[in-house]
Structure 1
């Protein structure tokens, strides 16, 4: 049914609606931001990030760990995104007790641009071959490490890993550069307490 409003009021209404949606989005991000900050200050959690933006889906054939030229790598936008992660933590004077990264270059680079050189940990590595599921041994390592971190109030760790690893560990999807604030409960189950998506 055609609108009875003349063109100018319709345009004005769309502008107001657009501004309202943008404001709601900012408020939502601010609330998410505050939740994540409070949890990190309390400690006993891990901020597990999917690596920053690296265009494409899978690595090219012939991937070799330690040789970035054989892998998907961060774009300039992804590098800016990683720096923004570091700036968010610095502005709030939040210092991780440990920064761990998958051996893949896009994770190491994300961690390095945000926090400096990380400790490389194979358990955070991307699944290789088919199916794209994290190996049982690596999942056990991750859950054990998360349980240990969860038992240490006043301290948090930051991990940089991949979409499939976070999906298998926390049973949820993530966007490039997005972080999950994770904790293991008393039974060892993984809880997603908050999300942290920091704009570049």
Structure 2
């Protein structure tokens, strides 16, 4: 009985590993995108009256978040993602996550911005992101840095800080999640 359970667990682990490897290959080949929640920035939402152009008024990455983002860059390179197109929400914690990955340039993209406070933007912004992903040419790796509310609205997945999803292209509705990756 114990051997059967052990064999079943081993087979499951090998299957999960091969699924993740296939997801990384799809990302490398431009057949998928990596959608990441920004790295660790303690707290929830932003302080009242925050100003998008002023990072001192926002919730920002702490040292652990900066290290987490750098480890993501290392993990991408370990998986042979060496020159991805990096798009980010314009929120400072997302932009800093993108910058800490160590790939340049980072392209701010407003449809990745948080709508945590402005929930009336949820449907329109999620549809715009879906259309954007549908129009991606699928020729090279793309990394998108966004927020929990955006990722949940698009995929139904509630990611923790620094968690990422590899989504199959062409994007479907709902998107097909090839892999859910824990923060490194």
Structure-2-length-normalised TM-score: 0.81
The separation in 1 between residues aligned to 2:81 and 2:69, in whole angstroms, is: 16
Aligned residues: 172
Secondary structure in 2 matching 1:160: strand
The separation in 1 between residues aligned to 2:53 and 2:118, in whole angstroms, is: 22
Note the C-alpha offset of 1:90. Answer: 1.7
Q: Does 1:67 align with 2:54?
A: yes
Distance 1:45 1:63, change over 3 A: same
Q: Does 1:119 align with 2:100?
A: no
Note the C-alpha offset of 1:58. Answer: 1.6
**Match of residue 101 from structure 1:** 88
Is the radius of gyration larger for structure 1 or structure 2?
1
Deviations 1:71-95 (A, max 9, x none): 0000100000000011111223313
The separation in 2 between residues aligned to 1:40 and 1:96, in whole angstroms, is: 12
Moved over 4 A (4+): 184-188
Secondary structure in 2 matching 1:190: coil
Note the C-alpha offset of 1:69. Answer: 0.4
Cα RMSD (Å) of the superposition?
A: 2.6
8 Å CA contact retained: 1:107, 1:161: yes
The separation in 2 between residues aligned to 1:98 and 1:134, in whole angstroms, is: 26
1:24-173 matches, cutoff 5 A: 31=17, 33-114=20-101, 115-129=103-117, 131=119, 134-149=121-136, 152=138, 154-173=139-158
The answer for unaligned runs of 5 or more in structure 1 is 1-23
